[in-house]
Amino acid sequence: MITRRAVLPFALAACAVVAMLSPLHSAYKGHADNRDIAAVLSVYPALKGTPADSCAICHVSGVVRDQASSGGMRRVNHCDYCHAVFVRGKGDIRQTLNRFALDYLAVGRSTEAVRALASKDSDADGFTNEVELQKGTNPGDAASSPSVPLAPSKTYTVAALRGLAPVLDLPVLVNTTKSRSGDSYNDYRGNSLWALLQAVGVSETATSVDILSADGYEYTFTFDELKRSWPQGPPVMGLGKQELGACGWVSYGSPRLEAGKPLPNAPVMFVFEENGKPLQKARFDEATGPLVGQGPVRVIAPQFRISPPDLSQTADASCSEKVAPAYRFHEEYEHNGGSSSYGIVAVRVTPLPRGTRDVDWQSAAVRSLENEEIVFFGALRASEVRLTPPSVERRFHGAPR
């Protein structure tokens, strides 16, 4: 599913969080350099799987040009902002860094640098960097402080979520950049994410959501994107292993495909079945660390710009020669595999209410998968949620209900 290009080794800790100091939960494994997060966790090993083990510890969210609209702008999470500015935009990585990360870079990017910054207050919020790391707040963001209450939140079991909105059953093309599983036409059964948000109760101030996976992967959708049912193109047949042997990369799991007939319009969905079977519950691989399995729910996002399946970015040149030019890898094609997150444990509704901060969803990720729970937090209607004071943050996420 991972479709984004590896961040260059210069990227700092959170944009390159791939370290696995033990085979337990850690931040998103999808990049090439692990030296920085390894340095943080070497000094504070007990913080593995907590907010300190996160992309946001060094990188900021921001506003970028919306590629799906003509000249519009959109707010994106720290992962997407790093990719927009540094990877695709070829800009300076420093543009994506918060105050703690800039201090860390200046001191020397090492275990010694982490220790040297322990007593410093990088974001000038009255708490040292070490205290913030240990309390689960961000030492590079003054708005994230132990004195700031958590954002409103509401937790649902996956079973409860399924009953909040009409169930949809739709075939969707998922086009990936370099996933080993290739591209696919599958039937997905689930709920419109927009309908679920309406049932959960989002504030009138909300404009977007960040979908949060157990491994720390994040993806942002605007409400405009979620409100739409997106047109899909007709399936492209003949690109599977049956026709192309080892070079075949497209699977045709849906029995409803008709050559030349466009697939039905589809919204962004929370899905719980693929081709009539429940999604395998995601878990962290004990040997290597990354998530195995997709469920109990994942997002399936249709293409926002209709594009045909194309070969993997890493496909062998001999395979490219076997297919028409339109089906060789194209950077500009819509690779919606990256927006179709799996192993979802939380949804951040943004912008957060003024004077609040993220709940600690990271520390509860494994438990959330096991209990099949998803927490919605942020800009929710006040009459339907509770504000959790900072003093009970760990208890709220870690103790049995």
pLDDT tens for 162-196 read 999 999 999 999 999 987 789 999 999 999 999 99
What does the alpha-carbon distance between residue 220 and residue 222 come to, in Å, rounded to a whole number?
7
Checking if the pLDDT of 271 tops 60, the result is: yes
Position 145, amino acid: S
What mean pLDDT do residues 302-330 have? Answer: 95
pLDDT of residue 290: 79
Here the tokens at position 284 are: 């962290």
What does the alpha-carbon distance between residue 55 and residue 58 come to, in Å, rounded to a whole number?
6
pLDDT of residue 289: 65
Please report which confidence band the pLDDT of residue 38 belongs to, taking 50, 70 and 90 as the band edges. confident
Q: Are strands 269-274 and 183-192 parallel, antiparallel or unpaired?
A: antiparallel
pLDDT of residue 10: 36
End-to-end CA distance of the chain: 33
Q: Which residue has the tokens 């275990």?
A: 111
Beta strands in 330-381 (DSSP E): 344-350, 373-378
Beta strands in 253-352 (DSSP E): 269-274, 277-278, 283-284, 291-292, 298-300, 344-350
For residues 93 and 279, the model is more confident at 279
Counting every residue written for the chain, the total comes to 401
Q: Are strands 250-252 and 269-274 parallel, antiparallel or unpaired?
A: unpaired
Q: Are strands 153-157 and 298-300 parallel, antiparallel or unpaired?
A: unpaired
pLDDT of residue 73: 79
The pLDDT tens digits for 114-161 are 999 999 999 999 999 999 999 989 999 998 999 999 999 999 999 999
pLDDT of residue 313: 92
Mean pLDDT value across the chain = 85
Max Cα-Cα span within the chain? 64
Residue 291 DSSP code: E
Element (H, E) at 81: helix 78-82
Here the tokens at position 241 are: 């292993």
CA 374 to chain centroid: 14
User: What CA dihedral angle connects 339, 342, 343 and 347, to 10 degrees?
Assistant: 30
For residues 350 and 73, the model is more confident at 350
Here the tokens at position 332 are: 């500009």
Give the whole-number percent of the chain exceeding pLDDT 90: 65
Contact present, 270 and 295 (Cβ < 8 Å): no
Give the whole-number percent of the chain exceeding pLDDT 70: 85
Domains of the chain, by residue range, sit at: 13-135, 149-401
Please report which confidence band the pLDDT of residue 48 belongs to, taking 50, 70 and 90 as the band edges. confident
For residues 373 and 286, the model is more confident at 373
Please report which confidence band the pLDDT of residue 79 belongs to, taking 50, 70 and 90 as the band edges. confident
Contact present, 206 and 349 (Cβ < 8 Å): yes
